[in-house]
Structure 1
Amino acid sequence: MKKFLKYSLYGVGGLIGLVLIAVGIIAATFNPNDYKQKVIDLVQEKKERTLKLDGDIKLAFWPKIGADLGKVSLSEHKNSKEFASLNGVKVSLALLPLLKKELVVDTVYIDGAQANIVKYKDGTTNFDDLMSKEEESQDIKFDIDGVNITNSSLSYSDEGTGAKYNISKFNLKSGHIALAEPVDITTDFAVNSNQPEIAANANLKGNFLVDPETKHFVAKGLDAAIKGDLLGGKNVDVTLSGDVDAKPESREFLVDSLKLVGSGQFNEAKLSIELNAPKLNAQKDEVTSKKTTVTLMQEKAGDTFKANLELADIKGSPKALESSGITGEISAVQGKRTVTGKFSSPFSGNLESLIFDLPKLAGNLDIKDPSLPNGGMKGLFNLSAHTDIKNELANSKFSLNIDDTKLNGDVAVASFKKPSIKFNLSADKLNLNKLLAKSTQAEKPSSGKPADLSAIKNLLLDGKLNVGSIQYEKFQISGLNVAIKADGEKLTLSGLNVKVDDSQIKGSLGISQFSKPLYTFDLDIDQLDVDKYASTSKTPTKASSDSKPLDLSALKALNADGNLRIGSLKYGKTKASNIRIDLKADGQKLNLNPVAAKIDDSQVNANVGISRFSDPIFSFNVNIDKLDVDRYITKSSSTTKSDGDAPIDLSALKKFNASGEAKIGWLKLANVKTENVNLGLKAEGGVATLSPFSANLYQGSMSGLLKVDARSTPSIAFKQSMKNVSIGPLLVDSINNDMLSGKGTVNVDVTASGNTVGALKKALSGSSSLSLTDGALKGVDIAGSVRELKNKVNILKTKDANADKSKKTDFSELTASFTIKNGVAHNEDLAMKAPILRLAKGDSRGDIDIGNESINYLAKPTIVKSLKGQEGADLDSLAGFAIPLKITGTFSSPKYGMDFAAIGTALAQSKLLDKVGGDKATAVKDLLGNGNKVDALSGLLGKKKPADTTTTPATTDAAAKPAEAPKSAEDQAKDKLKKLLKF
């Protein structure tokens, strides 16, 4: 700022000098306007700058030389860019005093002056040529009646540092000006700069003396004010008034009625200060002062702090001045907590050596807080301080005792412009729960902008901190040891060793690049119990249907590079060990690479990235040797039936943008085991696709894709091809059903949409096919049932039976394809080859209702001459006969029904019953054929033709029950035949 003022004076002085030269030349002519061009040419020749003189020039000659110019402008050196300009200037000076080398000038009027000062990167300026001296200047006495400047401005730019300063709307009015004489000045202006940031208006009034020869500076009736944004604050208002007379070289100072008042908004806190120094007189042999007071206040979100300081009367000599002491009072309110305190200390000093001492500052604190065990606590503190201003040294020792907290240490400071601080702080116990009140302010959301820690550049630290134990909220911290160092480039915490609850933490932390801080860390934690710090709230959170993208903008403020290692970690029933996480973040992207850990029985190695934080994009690459997902899924009660009408909430998918792949050596999910799992995920704009979606599955393989669309009504597309898969173990593990075995290929290509699981199942459409070899249909033994016909001609059974898991129907080949529409899979081409059966395409048909989880299927296998061996030839007569097999029921409880009545009809027409022999064989044939059912029944039972069975109802209590309908002769015959054949 000093350079700015110096260069500004150079620029204005050079400009005024040029004007005076122009006035002198013009005054020597009778018609100055005729010589404009000559003046312009002269400036161009001598200074290589372009001078513009607009408008007529008016001159006066006697008894004073005067000029009244219109608009004047001057260009940069060897450049047409404007350097300075004036809207108008009027000046006159006495002629005769010039002969005595005296300059006597009337009031100078300047309007609209503008100057643009530039300092280049090489240190030169854009006015260096104007300051060149061709001959030595001679001292000239001057006497100016006054200066009146209006509506002027001055700018200064430093291309090396990027600093820019600007004074605008500048107005100044002075009284009589002469060398070594005081002058009355009144001025006001606006000032703006970027280093530091200032946007303010200022005004100044008083009588000033500046004598550079004697180094004597005086300000009387000083009344100054500045208001605006400055000193890092907003709406800052500072006023200064009083009288000051200073001779710094002889250390003589006189201050009278000095008053400084300031206020402003700093980081959402309103600060104010008031200083009153009624009288200070420092002479060569004596120093006296009256009581000086300082008041400080801060207010932020209802919390307040106030301090009143008082320096008692000072007496003595410059070498030995003393005061009865400094006293002070403090008070603070933070939420429900109030703090009051008092302190005092003797004071001594030496103005010549500028050494000052506070040998014993002692004070007390009284804290009242209803949250504390006794509603409050009291404390004592002691401090001694020694300051050597000339050598820029200070040191202090202090102790603090509050309740069970004891803190002591020493601090030494070297260099006040850029303090170098050495310290050693120790405490046996710190109870921060008692020392710190709970904040009443709501946590402010992050702006996403990095914190500006540039102030740390000016701080040099080197010290140690040792604390035995710390209590903070629910945390128990012990054995804290850390070395702290700041060198202007980086702040580091090294040798960190602390125990937090049961976790021992070792490592280092660092901060550099302070304007956009880079945080570095290298930490080791032996063990971590996350359950201690996880929220215990069990209030369920309602799934959000808000489709706004996930906002991680706060990560824009994170610029970090470090690694974290954790020996063991526990979270719920999950245990992890050998954890390593390396993190890098630059405000644009966050990378975790690697992320490695042993989680339960799974070794996980991964890298994860996040970019475009306002609408995050996730990237990942995960490798897991084995993973049992089922152990992390809470199993619902077996009696609880899933609600198929529960709505599907895919709102999170609308906000999810990700791409990556995962490879899993062994995976168990919903009890299904797979190996060499390879998953590729692409999610964007509410659409997620798993492709590839492949794995080794039960001695075979699977590959395909899954696509989920959450943009409107949830929809899925699933395409999968399973080859050489053992179906039996897959069905047992997936749905706990052993209804089918075999090895082969299954293809699925389906789509569905719906707002519930039930709706999705009922909306399934597409196709599916399977081809199995060397398997069995379990729950029914068709061949075994046919074999039983030899010993038991069970031709009357028509009742369905539950599946008997001990029975099965073997097959060598089984193929089928399904057309799926509205959740129903329809089949008409089931084909099967079995030892005594063949199932040809087109002989069977039926539906599998996926939405309702039910089956309605009719198969018609045909008997072939393949049942050989003992008694095998007896079935030759049934070759080519179709046996209807009805499959009904639910997925969980299928039922099989064979139409043995139809088989019996075939048997009646075969030779199998001939071996029964006699009248019974004939009767059975008639009964099952087209003969007389009643006669056949009588012959079968050895009785006569049954009479009319109609009877009169009984008159007992049972009469109240409705009479059963009489059975037909055929039904009676069947019942009797069952008993006869012992079925």
Structure 2
Amino acid sequence: MKKIIKYSLSVLALVVVLLLLVPFFLNVEDYKQEIEQQVEDATGRVLKIGGLQASLFPWVGVTLDDVVLANRQGFSERDFLKVKHLNVQVALLPLLSQRLEIVRFKLEAPEIFMERNAKGEGNWEDLLPASPESMTAVAGEPENSVPAAKDDEKTGSALAALSAESLQLLDGKFIWQDAQSGVRIALTDVQVELDDVQLEHPVGVKISARLNGDKIDIDAQLGPVGDLASLDVNKLPIQLSLKSDAIRLKSFATLIGSFPEKLGDINKASVMLNMQLEQRPDGVRLLAGEGALLAAMNIALDWKVEMPNVNTLRLNHVGIAINDKPLFAIQGDVKKLNKAPRYTLRIQGENIQRTWLASLLPELNQMYAAHPSPWKTLKIGASLAGTKDRVDLRDMQVLLDGEIVQLSGSVGFAKAPNIRLRLAAKTLHLDPWLPQPAEASANSSENASGNTLPAKNSDTAQANKAAVEPDLRFLKPWRVSMQMQVEKLFMRGLELGHLRGTLKGERGVFTLSPLGFDLAGGQVRETASLNVNRYPVTWTESIHISGLKLKPILEAVAGTDLLDGTMRLDTNLKATGLLPKTSMASLNGTGQLLLQNGRIKGFDIAGGLRNLSTLGSQKSASAQYTDFAQLQASFKIRNGIAKNDDLFMASPLFRLTGKGVVNLPAATLDFHVRPKLIGSLVGQGDTLTVRKGLSVPLHIYGPFASPSIKPELDAKSLLENAGGLMGSGAGGVGGILGGLLGGKNAQPAKSQPAEIKPKSQPLTPEQQIQKGLKGILGF
């Protein structure tokens, strides 16, 4: 036994001596040159090794210095790979027992330079191995050969006992350069350190680097790894913390592309990230952290997320804030991550003040510059569910200054948008939400000296130039079904009650059928259609109004009380185009109007006829208006010209008939009307009953804003009304009219001496009557 021990120790001592002496007799230079030549033969690139040292005891070690691998031909002259120093030491005795025990691994100043040229080729592509199929074909072996499996088993058993005292990477550098996009990314000052690496217990990992000069730190703990042969990465215990400084986006500007204007200059923007990750042995992953985009406005995101398995993501909390103001909190689940993700989310918004929002969107200040009382707060909450092709709005609530608007439905994106929505509200005031920008500057302004100068019309000219018919043909494949229900809607000083509407669209035709609401004591019902299959669009509209009080509508909409009455209106219209100028010029259709128990403010027909009969001697200074029991008319519209042949107005004292034309594109009218007394004016400021039948034709013409009214008289009309113009108190009237008309019994009328005036062209008799009657009638 002693001899056996003695001989064994002698053999062991001899082996140790040989391992110590071999490196001294081994010509390392021969191996270095051979390695360089083999690499060049295999890759076509020059490999240079500055220094190579080897040792066999007490550990197997290799040391390399100043290793350089040249770049691919046709690319930059910069080297593809550089290593300043590499020292690898592996314990010898454990290696004899098929255990890999790394005593030291130290890699200093490695540098990798990767680039893509203008053709899209990479300088690393020639180093990639051939596909497994081609390698198998060359080797002439089947794909799933038994020897390969055995090699894998040997490798796995060797790594099963992997351990290391220290693994270090110091001062590393990675550079990416893309000639196509112009992007250059530099990951410098890379430090990686792993201490006391054991598969049986957790391993600490520290990584730090600078991304284009901005620091990133990663601190992690991995494992225990256990048996590598049965390692499941999805269940490997991990605790990781990542923290970064503000990473500037300047270097990524080309890669990012367009940057929202509201976020400012991308060259001044940066992102910050602070994240924690935990993966448990049962596969559950927990993520928490916060990130922010620091730009013209700061957008912050914080989250707490859980993954029970690789296919499910549970959002315990995701918060979004802008400029330190929380806006939304999101909770929910995302399932089937590996196939077709499906999500269920609850989004809860915070109150958003208009004044705060205007600090981000200055356009709001202009939109409501002239508004006496614009909206104050907005709040949104919603429950959503869906896939990448569809969103279901299960319960969406929008609070407009505290008034609730509820939305539900779905929006599909599989091919073309498929929108199904329902909107409901009890009470809604729209006036605070309707924009009222500041009025445009006047047509003239004063300079510093007080002289009036014409205002610049560049804005108006630009607006007119920009007025182009919208092309809505992109809506052809859309499918729409929308329903609206509002109990009370307040808008422009009006109250719309029981508002109901249905909008449907398919194959380029959108139909509103019907839209109905109560307004000013009456009912409004409307049907309409819009055809977007052609350019410009065509549309139709039919309106039925009954029992509507007209005065409050005109006061609220037009700011005038010139007309009052209970209105009934029926229209059937069609036109082409959406711009007013285009649609007015192409408008065709019919309309019937009926006003009952109304009043026209601005002129008094009955009073005018009374003044005519007394030559103004009983002219009243009271307010001018005309009451009527009925006013009706029908229109036929052709290319924007509305023609009326049956205008009729009835009152207890007179009847009015007429006809005329309304030019909608030019906003003008041209009507000839004839009011006629049918009863006595006694009690209306007159004492005679013989004026019944008196009639004075009128011509109403000109622009809508300021129409002109003048009497239309000829000999026939005066003779027809002569009886109404005669009577006591008007003894000279017949003589005057007879003289003007050239009658045989004409007598000069007595009058006061007239003031001497410069001579002018004398008026014809008819012009004299018209001039006088206009003043008498109050026109």
Rate the CA distance shift 1:675–1:617 in 2: closer, same or farther, 3 A.
Answer: same
Greater strand fraction, Structure 1 or Structure 2: 1
Per-residue deviation at 1:884?
Answer: 1.6
Query: Which one has a bigger Cα radius of gyration?
Result: 1
Match of 2:597 among 774, 777, 782: 774
Mapped partners of 2:377, 2:631: distance in 1 = 47
What is aligned with 1:784? 607
Higher relative contact order (CA closer than 8 Å, sequence separation 6+): 2
Count residues with an aligned counterpart.
Answer: 616
Q: Distance in 2 between matches of 1:322 and 1:604?
A: 68
Amino acid at match of 1:924: I
2:150 aligned partner: none
**Higher helix residue share:** 2
Q: Counterparts of 1:907 and 1:834 in 2: how far apart (Å)?
A: 20
| Secondary structure of 2:556 counterpart | helix
Residue 253 (structure 2) pairs with residue 430 (structure 1): no
**Partner residue, 2:204:** 396
Partners of 1:778 and 1:644 in 2: CA distance: 39
Per-residue CA distance 1:127-163 (angstroms, 9 max, x = gap)? xxxxxxxxxxxxxxxxxxxxxxxxxxxxxxxxxxxxx
Q: How do 1:28-43 and structure 2 match up within 5 A?
A: none
> Measured at CA, do residues 534 and 614 of structure 1 come closer, stay the same or move farther in structure 2, by a change above 3 Å?
farther
- Residue 106 of structure 2 corresponds to which residue in structure 1? 326
Q: For residue 528 of structure 2, what is the aligned residue in structure 1?
A: 706
User: CA deviation digits over 1:815-872, x for unaligned, max 9?
Assistant: 2222222222222222322131123xxx422122222211111121220224333764
| Residue in structure 1 matching 2:747, options 923, 933, 936 | 936
Aligned residue number for residue 639 of structure 2: 822
Question: Any idea what the Cα deviations from partners look like across 1:345-398, whole Å, max 9, x if unmatched?
Answer: xxxxx98982523447463468999xxxxx999867563333334x4x442142
TM-score, normalised by the number of residues in structure 1: 0.52
- What is the aligned partner in structure 1 of residue 513 from structure 2? 691
Q: Partners of 1:977 and 1:829 in 2: how far apart? A: 26
Counterpart for residue 653 of structure 2: 836
Could you tell me which of 654, 661, 686 is aligned with 2:483? 661
Distance 1:673 1:857, change over 3 A: farther
Letter in 1 for 2:638: K
Aligned position for 1:54: none
Whichever residue aligns with residue 486 of structure 2, its letter is: I
* Distance of aligned partners of 1:727 and 1:929 in 2 relative to their CA distance in 1, 3 Å threshold: same
Shift of 1:728: 2.3
Query: What is the aligned counterpart of 2:695 among 879, 882, 899?
Result: 882
**Correspondence for 2:434 among 611, 623, 632:** 632
Amino acid at match of 1:418: D
Contact 1:410 1:424 in 2 (8 A): yes
What is the Cα deviation at residue 723 of structure 1? Answer: 0.7
**Alignment partner of 1:356 is 2:128:** no
Pairing partner for 2:60 from 272, 275, 288: 288
* 789 and 474 in structure 1: CA distance in 2 versus 1, 3 angstrom threshold: closer
Task: Check the 8 A contact 1:818/1:825 in 2, yes or no.
Answer: yes
Pair 1:814–1:976, CA change in 2 (3 A): closer
Note the alpha carbon deviations across 1:727-760, whole angstroms, 9 max, x for none. 2222333344433211031100111225853232
Q: Per-residue CA shift, 1:174-225, capped at 9, x if unaligned?
A: xxxxxxxxxxxxxxxxxxxxxxxxxxxxxxxxxxxxxxxxxxxxxxxxxxxx
Structure 1 position 885, deviation (Å): 2.7
Question: Where do 1:716-755 residues align within 5 Å?
Answer: 716-754=539-577
Q: CA separation of 1:776/1:942 partners in 2, compared to 1, >3 Å: closer, same or farther? A: closer
Judge conservation of contact 1:761–1:851 (CA < 8 Å) in 2: yes
Where 2:747 maps in the other structure, the secondary structure is helix
Distance 2:160 2:722 in 1: 136
Equivalent residue for 1:603? Answer: 404
Which deviates more, 625-634 or 591-600?
625-634
Work out whether residues 481 and 497 of structure 1, in 8 Å CA contact, stay in contact via their aligned partners in 2. yes
- Note closer, same or farther for the CA distance 1:333–1:613 as it changes in structure 2 (3 Å cut): farther
Query: Cα offset for 1:646?
Result: 4.1
1:782 Cα deviation after fit:
0.6
Structure-2 residue corresponding to 1:892: 705
Alpha-carbon distance, 1:783 to partner: 1.1
Amino acid at match of 1:847: V
Q: Taking structure 1 as reference, are residues 787 and 502 closer, same or farther at Cα in structure 2, changes over 3 Å only?
A: same
Cα distance in 1, alignment partners of residues 282 and 468 from structure 2: 59
Distance (whole Å) between structure 1 residues aligned to residue 769 and residue 296 of structure 2: 86
Matched, 1:387 2:197: yes
Other structure's SS at 1:761 match: helix
Alpha-carbon distance in 2 for matches of 1:381, 1:742: 87
Q: Which amino acid aligns with 1:383?
A: E
Shift of 1:628: 1.8
Q: 2:500 aligns with which of 665, 678, 688?
A: 678
Question: Matched residues in 1 for 2:775 and 2:553: separation?
Answer: 43
CA distance 1:528–1:315, change in 2 (3 Å): farther
Q: 1:900 to 1:732 in 2, by over 3 A?
A: farther
Q: Distance in 1 between matches of 2:60 and 2:544?
A: 100
Map residues 519-668 of structure 1 onto 2, 5 A cutoff: 519=343, 521-522=345-346, 524=348, 526=350, 576-600=377-401, 602-624=403-425, 625-628=427-430, 631-633=433-435, 635=437, 637=439, 646-651=467-472, 652-654=474-476, 656-667=478-489
Quick one: distance in 1 between partners of 2:342 and 2:438? 48
Distance 1:787 1:421 in 2: 105
Q: Secondary structure at the match of 1:738?
A: coil
Specify every segment of 5 or more residues in structure 2 that has no aligned partner in the other structure, as ranges: 1-34, 117-156, 177-184, 259-278, 365-373, 443-459
Q: How far apart are the structure 2 equivalents of 1:980 and 1:533?
A: 62
Question: What SS does structure 2 have at the residue aligned with 1:598?
Answer: strand
Contact 1:503 1:526 in 2 (8 A): no
| 1:781–1:463 Cα change, 3 Å | closer
One-letter amino acid matched to 2:705 = S
Please tell me the residue identity of whatever aligns with 1:711.
N
When structure 1 is superposed on structure 2, of 807-816 and 485-494 the one drifting more is 485-494
Report the counterpart of residue 729 of structure 2 in structure 1: 915
The answer (yes or no) to whether the contact 1:385–1:397 under 8 Å persists in 2 is yes
Task: State whether structure 2 residue 739 is matched by structure 1 residue 927.
Answer: yes
**Residue type of the partner of 2:598?**
G
RMSD: 5.5
2:221–2:239 contact (8 Å) kept in structure 1: yes
**How much does 1:720 deviate?**
0.9
Is 1:312 aligned with 2:88?
A: yes
SS in 2 for 1:649: coil
Gap change, CA 1:314 and 1:363, over 3 Å in 2: same
Query: Are positions 1:762 and 2:585 aligned together?
Result: yes
Q: For the residues of structure 2 that align with 1:519 and 1:979, how far apart are their CA atoms? A: 79
Q: Would you say the 8 A contact 2:659–2:671 is kept in 1?
A: yes
Q: Distance between the aligned counterparts of 2:777 and 2:469, measured in 1?
A: 57
| Aligned residues of 1:914 and 1:921 also touching (Cα < 8 A) | no
Secondary structure class of the residue paired with 1:887: strand
CA distance in 2, matches of 1:688, 1:463: 49
CA contact (8 A) 2:417 2:479 kept: yes
Task: Sort the Cα spacing of 1:297 and 1:965 in 2 relative to 1 into closer, same or farther, 3 A.
Answer: farther
Tell me whether 1:502 sits opposite 2:324 in the alignment: yes
Alpha-carbon contact 2:611-2:776 (below 8 Å) kept: no
Provide the rounded CA distance (Å) in 1 between the counterparts of 2:314 and 2:644. Answer: 73
Q: List per-residue Cα deviations over 1:8-54 (Å, max 9, x = no partner).
A: xxxxxxxxxxxxxxxxxxxxxxxxxxxxxxxxxxxxxxxxxxxxxxx
Match of 1:385, SS state, is strand
Q: Does 1:412 align with 2:222?
A: yes
Residue type at the aligned position of 1:433: I
Answering whether residue 337 of structure 2 is matched by residue 514 of structure 1, we say yes
Partners in 1 of 2:778 and 2:654 — Cα distance?
27
Contact residue 836 and residue 866 of structure 1 kept, 8 A: yes
2:219 partner letter: G
Is contact 2:531–2:538 with CA below 8 Å preserved after alignment? yes
Q: Aligned partners of 1:662 and 1:895: how far apart in 2?
A: 44
Q: Percent identity, aligned pairs only? A: 17
